[in-house]
Every structure is written in C-alpha cells, then in structure tokens.
Amino acid sequence: MIERIVEGLKHKPGALLPILHSVQDHFGYIPESSVPIIAEKLQLSRAEVHGVISFYHHFRSHPVGCRVVHVCRAEACQAMGGRTLEEHVKARLGVDYHGTSSDNEFTLEPVYCLGNCACAPSIRVNDDIHGRVTPQKFDRLVDELTTTALDFVQAKGH
C-alpha cells in the first residue's frame, strides 16, 4: 500500500508532504516502516524523512483512537473560556494532550486556531468543527458520538 501511495505521488514537485498526508489519511498515522520506503523512492535519507515528519504537528508516528479531538488553545477561544474547556475536556476524556482515552475512542490534540473565532471556543472532531462549545455541550457531543458507535456495533452484531 505504501509503495502504491508513493508511486502515485512521487512525480509531483515537492512530493514529500502530499505523500505523508496520503499515508496518514490511509493508516491514521505514519508507520515507522513506511519511512525507509518513502526515503528510497524519493532518494532522500531516512533522517530527512523522519525530520519532516517530526517537524509538523499534524503528522503522527503512532496510531490514534477512533476519533481525534482537537481543542483550540488560541487567543480568541481563550477570551471565551477556552482554558476552562481545555481542562474539562482533559478530565472528561481522562487524558492529556497527545494521549488516547483508555477505551480507545478519542485521541486528544491541541490546535492553534480553527478559523472559527467569532463563535469561540471551538473544537474539531475528525473533520467536523463545533462552535460555542461549553463543557456541557462537549459532554453531550461525547455521549452522542459514543452512543452512535455503540448502536453501530450492536447493529452489526445482529
């Protein structure tokens, strides 16, 4: 699979970021084993590829939970209770930033601005952005998401 992704994109000028995005979109993270393959095909050293992965906050070298929750830490959200929300989210999920909850449902990441600053504070769950998030609204969202997942599992079981 990794070979196929690299082959499909390596002709692009400055192909490394598009390749890394594509690998992460597919696996949810960038497996260590992909580094030598990408390096060889792009004629880079493994250190160079690793250096790029580790430079960017978006790229991950470890698997994540079912969903990634990004909480905005930037000023517009701070002005609307973002710091309280951050603490609440950590407590509710039982993890700190970059951690994954024990049920493997959520991975928590910080983010600096989602561009939703007039309806702060904001969070992102996978590709969905939520505005005016209070601790209560966050709890409802978590309940909704986990129940939907449960329904899905049960439905599949029948």
Partner 1 sequence: MLKRIYVPCDTTALSMGADKVAKLIERHANARGLEIELVRNGSRGLFWLEPLVEVETDSGRIGFGPVEAHDVDALVDAGLFEGKSDHPLCLGMVEDISYLKLQQRLTFSRIGITDPLSIADYRSHGGFVGLEQAVSLSPQAIVDEVKASGLRGRGGAAFPTGIKWQTVHDEPWQQQKYIVCNADEGDSGTFADRLAMECDPYMLIEGMTIAGLAVGATQGFIYLRSEYPVAHRILNEAISRAEAEGYLGRDVRGSGRAFHLEVRLAAGAYICGEETSLLESLEGKRGLVRAKPPLPAIKGLFGQPTVVNNVLSFAAVPFILAKGGQTYADYGMGKSRGTLPIQLAGNIRRGGLIELAFGVSLREILEDFGGGTFTGRPMKAVQVGGPLMAYMPQNQWDTPMDYEAFAQLGAGIGHGGVVVFDDTVDMGEQARFAMEFCTVESCGKCTPCRIGSVRGLEVIDRIRAGESPEANLVLLEELCETMVDGSLCAMGGMTPFPVQSVMKYFPDDLTA
Would you give the DSSP letter of residue 61? S
Sign of the CA dihedral with 69 first, then 102, 92, and 75 last: negative
Among 122, 110, 109, 111, smallest CA distance to 79 is for 122
CB of 52 to partner 1, least distance (A): 6
Residue 99 binds to partner 1 (criterion: CB under 8 A): no
> Which of 69, 80, 85, 95 touches partner 1 by CB under 8 A?
80
Note the helical H segments in the chain. Answer: 2-9, 16-27, 34-42, 46-55, 75-78, 82-93, 135-157
Residue 66 binds to partner 1 (criterion: CB under 8 A): no
> Which of 27, 41, 52, 92 touches partner 1 by CB under 8 A?
52
> Which of 66, 117, 141, 149 touches partner 1 by CB under 8 A?
117
Using the contact rule CB under 8 A, the part of the chain among 10-18, 86-94, 139-147, 150-158 near partner 1 is 10-18
Residue 125 binds to partner 1 (criterion: CB under 8 A): no
Count of residues that interact with partner 1, criterion CB under 8 A: 43
> Which of 21, 26, 41, 92 touches partner 1 by CB under 8 A?
21
Instruction: List 100's β-bridge partners, or say none.
Output: 107
CB 61 within 8 A of CB 29: yes
CB 24 within 8 A of CB 59: yes
Using the contact rule CB under 8 A, the part of the chain among 9-17, 61-69, 88-96, 142-150 near partner 1 is 9-17
